[in-house]
Amino acid sequence: FLMQTSEMLQKICVRNLVRKYCRGLTAERKVQLQQKVVTSAVFSGKKEGYLESLSQPFLETRLKENDLNPKVLQLIRGENIKYVTPVVKYDRNGFKARERLLVLTQSSAYVVEMAKIKQKIEYSTLKGISTSNLSDGIVVIHVPEDNKQKGDVILQCEHIFETVTKLCILANKQSLVKVVKGSLRFRVGSGKEGTMVFTVGPEPQIFKDKTGQLTVV
């Protein structure tokens, strides 16, 4: 009986401590924890660098709305901008690296070049989000095959866990995130596909190999 009473009191004590902790959380801290829960569900035990990312708090955004070109702001006016981060975009043909911004609003993702919107992806049409199991920052946003889209979007993000988490939460498509091993296929456009190969090497690099594949080391 004493053992049962002790266990019951321990449970009550823990429950009270948890309740006190939760009540003391700021709104910002609650958002952080909610995002980290999603990151865990998507990446825990699947992608290198996840454990190291646990101690790094996510920022609300990497760039402020005021950092965007006024022409871009005018083009997406009426949409609530949630997150902006610098990215490197790789062309689907030739894989040339280009500096871009990824802008996430409440309803769409935009790939932006200075004052131009290069691609818009409505979350409702999003087909998938792919990353590798290695420590690279590559993410592929898969889009539908229609006249509105040029093909899947290949991006390199410095804060890969943060960016993918923000994207899948805003799109409400956590289940569509895939962490792949070895290689993945992406749509180039006009019914064509390309292949991206992930491998391990002495130093990080991304290049087009002799077979025409994009190789991520």
pLDDT tens across the length of the chain (217 residues): 566 777 777 777 767 666 765 566 578 878 888 899 999 999 999 999 999 999 899 999 999 999 999 999 999 988 999 999 999 999 988 899 999 999 999 999 999 999 999 999 999 999 999 999 999 999 999 998 876 778 999 999 999 999 999 999 999 999 999 999 999 999 987 778 889 999 999 989 998 888 888 999 9
For the chain, the domains span 2-181
Position 94 scores a pLDDT of 84
Q: Which CATH class is domain 2-181?
A: mainly beta
158 and 190 in contact (C-beta within 8 Å)?
no
The whole-number pLDDT of residue 212 equals 85
Q: How confident is the model at residue 20, as a pLDDT?
A: 67
The rounded distance, in Å, linking the Cα atoms of 150 and 147 is 7
> Would you state the structure tokens that stand for residue 43, as one six-digit string?
């990446």
- Structural tokens at position 76: 């997406």
What is the per-residue pLDDT for 38? 95
Which pLDDT value is given to residue 170? Answer: 97
Rounded to whole angstroms, what are the CA distances from 64 to 67, 73, 108, 162, 196?
A: 5, 12, 17, 16, 32
Give one DSSP letter per residue of 1-58, joined into a string. -HHHHHHHHHHHHHHHHHHHHHHT--HHHHHHHHHHHHHHHHHTTTSTTHHHHTTSPP
